[in-house]
């Protein structure tokens, strides 16, 4: 009788450990904690661009990614602002909108906690900061300025 109780306790413990291990391995946390994970290597291999001559490669620009969705009041309010920035600062700033309804993997990929989320990057691709919620054009430009990237007024012509 006693051995049945010990056996069932051990079986429960082993089952729990196996289930917890499977949950951990399936979680996105394990992909960042386990450096030998082949999925990470595959993702890195896919995202690396082939080396090109500096003279022929396109100029790298600061990047603003706005992650949201259609039919979200703050996201809809920001849409014309993003379009204005895209047009006024063409060639000096890249602006990208990612719709989480159409690209649900972006939530995990960019670690999104709410929408809209704006992510600011420098020209080398380093994340400088984030903002959650509506943000005006002026606040976007001020944020880049705070991060050390200042854009000249589009009306000012470069000589």
pLDDT tens for each residue of 59-100: 789 999 999 998 899 999 999 999 999 999 999 999 999 999
Residue 16 falls inside a structural domain: yes
Residues 142, 69: one domain? yes
CATH number at residue 84: 3.40.30.10
Same domain, 76 and 141: yes
Mean pLDDT of the chain: 78
- Determine the structural domain holding residue 125 and report its residue range: 63-146
Q: What is the predicted pLDDT for the residue at 4?
A: 78
CB atoms near residue 149 (< 10 Å): 18
Kindly state whether residue 49 falls inside one of the protein's structural domains: no
123 or 154: whose pLDDT is higher?
123
As a whole number of angstroms, the distance between CA 48 and CA 21 comes to 31
**Which of 63, 72, 79, 106 is flagged as catalytic?**
72
In-domain check, residue 156 = no
In a domain, 155, yes or no: no
Active site residue 75: yes
Number of domains in the chain: 2
Q: State yes or no: is 43 an active-site residue.
A: no
User: Cis peptide before 93, with omega less than 30 degrees from 0?
Assistant: no
Q: Which tens digit of pLDDT belongs to each residue from 138-151? A: 999 999 999 999 98
| Catalytic residue, candidates 75, 81, 85, 95 | 75
pTM for this entry: 0.61
């Amino acid at each position: 009788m006693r051995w049945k109780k010990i056996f069932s306790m051990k079986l429960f413990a082993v089952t729990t450990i196996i289930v917890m291990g499977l949950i951990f391995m399936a979680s996105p946390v394990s992909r960042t904690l386990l450096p030998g994970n082949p999925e990470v290597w595959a993702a890195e291999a896919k995202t690396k661009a082939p080396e090109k001559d500096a003279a022929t490669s396109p100029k790298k620009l600061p990047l603003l990614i706005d992650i949201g969705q259609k039919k979200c009041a703050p996201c809809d309010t920001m849409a014309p602002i993003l379009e204005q920035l895209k047009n006024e600062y063409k060639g000096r700033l890249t602006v990208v909108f990612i719709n989480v309804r159409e690209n649900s993997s972006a939530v995990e990929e960019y670690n999104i906690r709410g929408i809209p989320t704006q992510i600011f990057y420098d020209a080398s691709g380093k994340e400088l900061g984030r903002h959650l919620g509506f943000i005006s054009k002026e606040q976007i430009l001020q944020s880049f300025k705070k991060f050390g990237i200042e854009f000249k007024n589009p009306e000012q012509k470069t000589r």
